[in-house]
Amino acid sequence: MNIGIVGMGLIGGTYAKSLRKYPYKVYGIDIKEETITYALENNIVDYGTIDPKSVLKNLDVIFLCLYPKDTIKFIQKYIPCFKKDAIIADAVGVKRKLVDYFEMYKNDDVEFVYTHPIAGREKIGIEYSDEAIFHNANYVITPTKYNNAESLNLIETLARQMGFKNITRISDVEHDDIIAFTSQLTHAIAISLVNSDNGMYDTSLFIGDSYKDLTRIAMINENLWTELFLQNKDFLSKRIAAFEEKLDEFKEALDKNDSEKLKKIMIHSTQKRGEIK
């Protein structure tokens, strides 16, 4: 089977490294010649090119590891170039807009399988790709009425081969709702926490693991995440409002010196977090 990976950055490079050890031929596609050169010189792909048209007809499965808008632009430009019955899987972190947009291609001889590898690092670029990123991570597939079971099962098999542990199938709406909480809200909190530092002290001299763990994701790719936040702003805004309500509840207990209320809040959070494995 020939597998193509479009966008040989952190995630695309990790896809390639994770799949290369299986009996597949892995093709890397990127707009940067230096990225393809790096991928070839480091044996990350079998074949690399900056010209998608030259290889798309050969590919059975294509993973689009691109930003949301770039994913749409790539399909718009190259939809006539794909092999008949090719499976095209995205890696975008929000789903509804993509699913709605690509419905126009439902009668084409390709099949879109919408996926989200919930994994990453704060650094970008193929040089930071690492198979360990996917080990025991979560992977989501959002099936549509146009998918067949064989295609969904193939993508799930490839995900497991890449090292993902939990593979979940949910609707695009459900995906965007829960991701607004587990991913986007946590990034928004980390960003806001770091930006709330008034600069009176050398913060680096007073931080421990709690600050480091909570703010790690504040080091963020602003171009990618601006797209993700805005495409999911309805769900994210609701999650922010719910968080503000709980933070206000905490602040009110502080202002009133209500130690019992504070304890109840913390006991509740300890119990809820303990239920998450």
Residue 96: pLDDT above 90?
A: yes
Query: What value does the mean pLDDT take over residues 64-84?
Result: 96
Question: Tens digits of per-residue pLDDT, 205-259?
Answer: 999 999 999 999 999 999 999 999 999 999 999 999 999 999 999 999 999 999 9
pLDDT for residue 120: 79
Angle at 259 between CA 256 and CA 262, to 5 degrees: 95
Residue 122: pLDDT above 90?
A: no
This prediction's pTM:
0.92
**DSSP per-residue letters across 245-275:** HHHHHHHHHHHTT-HHHHHHHHHHHHHHHHT
Domains of the chain: 2-170 (3.40.50.720), 175-274 (1.10.3660.10)
Mean residue pLDDT across the chain: 95
Question: Tens digits of per-residue pLDDT, 134-159?
Answer: 999 999 999 999 999 999 999 999 99
Question: Tens digits of per-residue pLDDT, 176-188?
Answer: 999 999 999 999 9
Strand order through the sheet with 2-6: 47-49, 25-29, 2-6, 61-64, 86-90, 110-118, 138-142, 166-169
DSSP 80: G
